[in-house]
Amino acid sequence: MMRTNKRNILTTIRICVLCFVCALCLAPFYVALCYAFKSKSDFAHTKLAFPVHLYLGNFSDAVHLKNFFTSVENSFIVAFFVVVIIICVCSAGAYVITRRNTKFYNTIFYIFQLVILLPFQTVMFPLYKELSRIHALNTLWGLTVAVVGVNVGYYVFLYSGFIKTVPRSLEEAATIDGCSQYQTFFHIVFPLLKPITMTVTVLAFLASWNDFIISMIICQKSIKRTLPLMQFYFFGEYSSNVSVAFAAALLAMIPAVLIYFCAQKYIVEGMTAGAVKA
């Protein structure tokens, strides 16, 4: 009886802790929904209380901003090319590093991992100076190169762990059938990397779509701003438009949420592959 009561108490404590953590995670979404659907008068009087009448004017004001759709287009362009470049470069690079497995390629792999440990603030000023030298400031291609360079080490690490689970016998059979190394990778190995590729697609898209620091450093002109940077300018020195800012944030969240839900079944498999050695 005492053991049953103790188990019930522990279960109750776990549920309470989980509910508390869940509330902490959902609190920002509640605040965003609360403010986005409030008019200025409701915002002044009710603050964090959920609006009784949903006001959609904030979304209309956000969409009709001068640079809103330009920022959406910039974010999509950068995110698309970041995802494509990272998938092509990191998958091929991780394949060569994993399959060659020599001292030289292992050193390259460790260098990639050092990029993960390196804080962006340490390379922020050299990056700005180098991009200025090659006239890449206030350009989308400069932002794309910077985002890829900052994140490439992490995705090489993910691909390497997954490629180790691909049997070498498949590649040996393809070589016997006359496939070159490139044909073996693109026709045999790469199709088997679908789970980790979908994981990298989601993570790279989110990293690019939500990036603020790199965008703020490189794209300072209004015509080249991405969505996170555009939302930053809702808050001025003497005024702020909180409701419209949250409405724009909810609109900017839609593509990321859709991509995540479309690929969520691959994410856990892709993240955990290679964690346990066969």
Together in a domain, 88 and 212: yes
Digit-coded pLDDT (tens) for 185-231: 888 888 888 888 888 888 899 889 988 888 888 888 888 888 888 87
Prediction pTM value: 0.81
Q: Which residues contact 243 (CB under 8 A, 6 or more apart)?
A: 35, 36, 38, 39, 40, 43, 58
Please give the structure tokens belonging to residue 30.
């509640």
Together in a domain, 51 and 81: no
The answer to the question of residue 112 being in a domain is yes
Please give the structure tokens belonging to residue 97.
């590093």
Together in a domain, 44 and 130: no
Q: What CATH code is carried by the domain that includes residue 245?
A: 1.10.3720.10
Number of domains in the chain: 2
Q: Give me the phi and psi of 93, to 5 degrees please.
A: -65, -45
Digit-coded pLDDT (tens) for 4-53: 777 788 888 899 999 999 988 888 888 888 888 887 777 767 777 777 77
Would you give the DSSP letter of residue 240? B
Together in a domain, 19 and 98: no
The answer to the question of residue 278 being in a domain is no
pLDDT at 277 over 50: no
**Which residue range is the domain that position 26 belongs to?**
2-55
Digit-coded pLDDT (tens) for 222-276: 888 888 888 777 665 445 677 788 888 888 888 888 887 877 777 666 555 544 4
Which residue do the tokens 């910039």 mark?
Answer: 74
Q: Which residues contact 48 (CB under 8 A, 6 or more apart)?
A: 31, 34
Would you give the DSSP letter of residue 118? S
Residue type, 16: C
Together in a domain, 199 and 82: yes
Compare 169 and 16 and report the one with higher pLDDT: 16
Digit-coded pLDDT (tens) for 72-111: 899 999 999 999 999 999 998 888 888 887 788 778 888 8
